[in-house]
Amino acid sequence: MIKTPEGSLGRVGALGLPTVGVPVVAPGQVLASGYYTDPTTGQQYYYNAALDQWYYVAAGLLYPLAITWKPSPSAKIDLIVGNVLRFNLTFKYIGPAVTRSFYAAIGANSMSGSFNEWSGYTVTKSIAIPAKTTPTLITGNYIDIPIAASHAGEDGAAYCKMLDGLTLTEGVNCTPLYYNVCHIILAAGEITEFGIASFVKV
């Protein structure tokens, strides 16, 4: 006779994990798989080099960390060498008057995984943020990236972050990774959005 377990396991709800940022790795720095500890917060992370994936360690379990990919808030923009792509920034802020360094980048339009920045397509800009005693929507700040003579014919993704910490947290010091932001047109000329608008009898 086969015995079946009795009783109910009950409902298993989602874990209430805190918001944890993705560790920032300096460009060119190569990390081995293993555990890493944030010296500021003491938070432990695990990095899988083969997958290029960070994990948050909680109660002995690993939870993957990532900045999400989202579609561009604007229609894809065709750009040629010499054009400038403007990132119009928005965020809510409470605190004293501060100046923060913002870093914007255009990169491969991979739509998933980590963000591969294109060389020559990054800009750092200091932005002064006024003191606010209540959470206030801050708009009107922007970063411009001039279009270089490389990656012609490719679609570009983009994101922006604040250079103020050891980890990146979406919405706090990093925007989502936006795909289908722009298309770099070939210098020799390229026809885009080619199609027949209508057929008429003549």
Partner 1 sequence: MTGTITKKELDYQNIWQAFPLYNIPTGTTIRVRIIGRNNMTTIQQMGIAWVVTDPNGIVRESYSAWELWPYTGAGAEHEFIGNGFPLDKVGTWLLNVYLYMDPSNPTVVDSYYGTLCTVVAELVPAVSEFAVSSFSKV
Binding site for partner 1 (CB under 8 A): 72-74, 77, 79, 83-96, 98, 131, 133, 135, 137, 139, 144, 158-160, 162, 170-176, 178, 181-182
110 phi-psi bin (left φ>0, alpha ψ -120 to 50, beta other):
alpha
Smallest distance, partner 1 to C-beta of residue 29, A = 24
Residue 38 beta carbon to partner 1: minimum distance, rounded to whole angstroms: 19
How far apart are the C-alpha atoms of 141 and 132, rounded to whole Å? 16
* Cβ(17)–Cβ(58) below 8 Å: yes
| Residue number with CB closer to partner 1 (47 or 157) | 157
Please give the DSSP secondary-structure letter assigned to residue 174.
B
Q: How far is the CB of 141 from partner 1 (least distance, A)?
A: 10
Q: Which helix (H) or strand (E) holds 129?
A: strand 117-129
Q: Closer CB to partner 1, residue 90 or residue 116?
A: 90
Strand 98-108 to strand 132-146: parallel, antiparallel, or no bridges (unpaired)?
A: unpaired
- Based on CB atoms, which residue is closest to partner 1, 52 or 144? 144
Find the shortest distance in angstroms from Cβ 58 to partner 1. Answer: 23
Nearer to partner 1, 20 or 182 (CB): 182
Alpha-carbon gap, residue 84 to 82, rounded angstroms: 7
Nearer to partner 1, 33 or 88 (CB): 88
Short-list 132, 107, 139, 142, CA closest to 122: 107
CB of 199 to partner 1, least distance (A): 32
Q: Under a CB-based contact definition with an 8 Å cutoff, are residues 92 and 137 in contact?
A: yes
